[in-house]
């Protein structure tokens, strides 16, 4: 690269961090100026757009200075980075043709089959926003029109999930393609009755989310309340929409609702085009190198935190997840962020460290496996950040907290651990979890304790939720509720910002735990986060358990599958031969492969998505339908054949 990239990079940082260019010097680090890993993804996208240089996440550590980044860009401008796959996103020949689910979508799809532990009929995110000054006569029509225009602009809102575990986008004119708005006009009710109906609506939307296998993946409702108040309720399937997409959805929706004549810049690609491109990742040496990096480490991975249980996960059939919430006021949150920069860590890393300490104290040990949800939008095209879609992925974090360390040192260690994992994130956490489950010989979720941070998303998007939206009135983010229902997750800690407040949420399957353990876990986490307003909170030694690993009891962990006790050998009858033939085809085994009747499906390379396809295919051939839960009791040719005979 012959042109000096530093002035352009300074402008990029100024745009992303909302700073004057004059305030950014070559020796300033991205972190010290307020950057984090989410904003680093946005940086990569803008560098690709403005300088034509492709960067990997490993090129963008938050500790890098402007001068460091300029040196990397000069190098990458002449030699392609060894860990950046050369993928191009182009329009598909047929935009309505089916395309695969991404790995985390597959996990959610399987989780809706009611066959695995901690399953639900739908995986969805529910939110509602307070509205004041609503024009009750104009708002419903404006919002319905906005939703129609948004579905035309964002094709993923018209997506459907097919029985074979693929997805497709419906034509705009296809029956039922566009989500519809439901309006609840309770303006004439007395306040107590309106509140009662509002509570009932919330409870229903929490427990029953949209299923894109049967209809639209978005359920949007408007409650009109006495006194010019209202609430906008949205329930979104996690099969179609991730956290970033929820922000895109609401920004675009409010833009259309506020102005009948609003026009958004068209998208040159859709979610199907992106997914088609990333399907080629396993063909690249970069993906294979990331896979090798993970596979070499898996045998040393610990179990999840051994949180005390009130019931075994396979005995629990929950309808909703309980959520505990706390908030940190803007001035206090600003002070925490200031001290994060002073100690060289991102706010997300500090929150993760506090969460890990709280888990360690509750579980009684210091080494455990966490699952971190990431906004995984590879910067393969300038439009990727403007699209609605289920881009998110997960990354596994094998945490080992030191026996003695200050909070600042502990947070820096976890920031380094996360950075190393994200630098090898071309292989998703779902794929890593499947391999880990094979090695452990379990069908139980291997990483059911989750951390999620969307801090910095507003800055990465370049805008926040508007304060007003035409006839919808004023949007009050302080009066904002969120609920989550995620399959195969026992506990999830997450953070997001509402205006300038920090919102801290712990969601969990309440039936799994004793109430006092949950309250103690949440209190410890929030207390630690609040202590980071002071330098003493950063410099004092963390009080951690002496034990590195757990010691017995009823604990959250990946229990091995029970042995089937079946005799081996060749399939014995026509039914077992039919099952074996189906397995050979779906698992890519040679036609004459000597498949043992006692060989386990997952040991042969099967995974949960392929299992769903296999059971569906056998049922379509005329055999009785076997549930995933029944199959998992004996996942062998002989075991499945026996389950089919029992159904007969």
Short-list 282, 266, 269, CA closest to 90: 269
Distance between CA atoms of 30 and 533, rounded to whole angstroms?
21
Give the pLDDT band of residue 561 (cuts 50, 70, 90).
low
Residues 6+ apart with CB under 8 A from 523: none
Listed by start position, the domains of the chain span 5-78, 272-459+484-542, 574-646
CB 169, CB 261: distance < 8 Å: no
For residue 30, the model assigns a pLDDT of 87
Residue 317 has pLDDT above 70, yes or no: yes
Cβ 444 vs Cβ 379: under 8 Å: no
- With 60 as the cut, is the pLDDT of residue 52 above it? yes
Q: What percent of the chain has pLDDT over 70?
A: 94
Predicted local distance difference test score (pLDDT) of residue 351: 96
How high is the pLDDT of residue 81? 46
**Residue 634 pLDDT exceeds 90:** no
- Radius of gyration over alpha carbons of the chain, in Å? 25
| Alpha-carbon gap, residue 7 to 580, rounded angstroms | 63
Q: What is the distance, to the nearest Å, from the Cα of residue 561 to the centroid of all Cα atoms in its chain? A: 27
Helices (H), 395-514: 407-422, 429-440, 457-461
- Rounded to whole angstroms, the Cα distance separating 145 from 141 reads 6
Cβ–Cβ < 8 Å for 169, 96:
yes
* pLDDT, tens only, 259-301: 999 999 999 999 999 999 999 999 998 899 999 999 999 999 9
pLDDT in tens, 482-540: 888 888 899 999 999 888 899 999 999 999 999 999 999 999 999 999 999 999 999 99
Mean pLDDT calculated for residue range 308-320: 83
Contact 131, 474 (CB under 8 A): yes
In angstroms, the CA 648 to CA 639 distance is: 14
Average pLDDT over residues 181-186: 97
Which whole number is the average pLDDT over 412-439? 92
Domain 5-78, CATH number (from 1.10.10.10, 3.30.70.580, 3.90.1150.10, 1.10.1200.10): 1.10.1200.10
CATH for the 272-459+484-542 domain, from 3.40.50.2300, 3.50.30.30, 3.30.559.30, 3.30.70.260 = 3.30.559.30
Class of domain 574-646: mainly alpha
Confidence of residue 80 (pLDDT cuts 50, 70, 90): very low
Query: Is pLDDT of 79 > 50?
Result: no
User: What region, left, alpha or beta, does residue 467 occupy, with left being phi > 0 and alpha being psi -120 to 50 degrees?
Assistant: alpha
Backbone angles phi, psi at 557, to 5 degrees: -170, 170
- Please indicate whether the domains covering 5-78 and 574-646 agree at the CATH topology level: yes
The predicted model gives 66-71 an average pLDDT of 86
């Amino acid at each position: 690269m012959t042109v000096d990239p530093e002035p352009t990079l300074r402008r990029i940082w100024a745009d992303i961090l909302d700073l004057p260019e004059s305030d950014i010097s070559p020796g300033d680090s991205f972190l010290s100026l307020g950057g984090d890993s989410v904003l680093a993804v946005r940086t990569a996208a803008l560098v690709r757009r403005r300088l034509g240089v492709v960067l990997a996440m490993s090129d963008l550590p938050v500790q890098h200075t402007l001068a460091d980044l300029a040196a990397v860009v000069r190098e990458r401008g002449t030699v392609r980075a060894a860990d950046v796959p050369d993928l191009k996103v182009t329009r598909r020949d047929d935009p309505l043709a089916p395309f695969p689910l991404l790995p985390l979508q597959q996990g959610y799809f399987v989780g809706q089959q009611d066959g695995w532990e901690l399953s639900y009929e739908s995986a969805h995110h529910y939110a509602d926003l307070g509205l004041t000054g609503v024009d009750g006569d104009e708002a419903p029509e404006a919002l319905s029109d906005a939703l129609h225009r948004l579905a035309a602009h964002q094709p993923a809102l018209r997506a459907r999930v097919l029985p074979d575990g693929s997805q497709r986008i419906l034509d705009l004119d296809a029956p039922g393609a566009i989500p519809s708005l439901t309006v609840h006009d309770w303006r004439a009710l007395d306040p107590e009755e309106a509140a009662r109906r509002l509570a009932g609506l919330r409870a229903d939307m929490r427990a029953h989310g949209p299923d894109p296998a049967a209809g639209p993946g978005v359920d949007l409702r408007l409650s009109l309340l006495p006194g010019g108040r209202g609430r906008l309720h949205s329930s979104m399937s996690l099969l179609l929409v991730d956290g970033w997409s929820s922000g895109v959805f609401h920004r675009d929706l409010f833009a259309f609702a506020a102005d009948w004549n609003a026009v958004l810049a068209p998208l040159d690609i859709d979610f199907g085009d992106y997914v088609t491109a990333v399907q080629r990742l396993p063909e690249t040496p970069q993906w294979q190198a990331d896979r090798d990096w993970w596979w070499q480490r898996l045998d040393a991975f610990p179990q999840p935190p051994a949180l005390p249980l009130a019931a075994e996960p396979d005995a629990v059939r929950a309808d909703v997840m309980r959520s505990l919430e706390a908030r940190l006021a803007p001035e206090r949150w600003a002070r925490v962020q200031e001290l994060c920069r002073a100690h060289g860590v991102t706010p997300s890393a500090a929150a993760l460290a506090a969460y890990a300490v709280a888990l360690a104290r509750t579980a009684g040990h210091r080494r455990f496996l966490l699952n971190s949800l990431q906004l995984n939008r590879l910067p393969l095209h300038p439009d990727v950040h403007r699209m609605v879609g289920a881009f998110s992925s997960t990354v596994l974090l094998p945490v080992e907290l030191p026996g003695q360390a200050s909070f600042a040192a502990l947070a820096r260690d976890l920031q380094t651990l996360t950075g190393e994992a994200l630098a090898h994130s071309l292989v998703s956490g779902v794929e890593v979890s499947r391999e880990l489950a094979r090695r452990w010989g379990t069908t139980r979720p291997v990483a059911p304790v989750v951390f999620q941070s969307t801090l910095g998303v507003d800055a990465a998007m370049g805008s926040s939720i508007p304060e007003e939206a035409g006839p919808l009135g004023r949007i009050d983010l302080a009066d904002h509720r969120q609920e989550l229902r995620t399959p195969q997750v026992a506990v999830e800690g997450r953070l997001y910002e509402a205006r300038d407040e920090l919102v801290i949420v712990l969601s969990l399957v309440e039936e799994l735990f004793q109430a006092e353990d949950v309250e103690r876990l949440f209190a410890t986490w929030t207390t630690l986060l609040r202590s980071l307003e002071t330098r003493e909170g950063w410099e004092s030694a963390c009080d951690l358990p002496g034990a590195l690993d757990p010691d017995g009891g009823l604990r959250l962990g990946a229990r091995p599958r029970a042995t089937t006790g079946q005799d081996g050998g060749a399939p014995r009858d026509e039914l077992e031969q039919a099952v074996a033939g189906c397995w050979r085809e779906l698992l890519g085994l040679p036609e004459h492969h000597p498949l043992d009747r006692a060989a386990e499906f997952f040991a042969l390379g099967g995974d949960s998505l392929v299992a769903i396809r296999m059971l569906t295919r056998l049922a379509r051939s005329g055999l009785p339908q076997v549930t995933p839960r029944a199959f998992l009791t004996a996942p062998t040719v002989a075991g499945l054949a026996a389950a089919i005979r029992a159904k007969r």
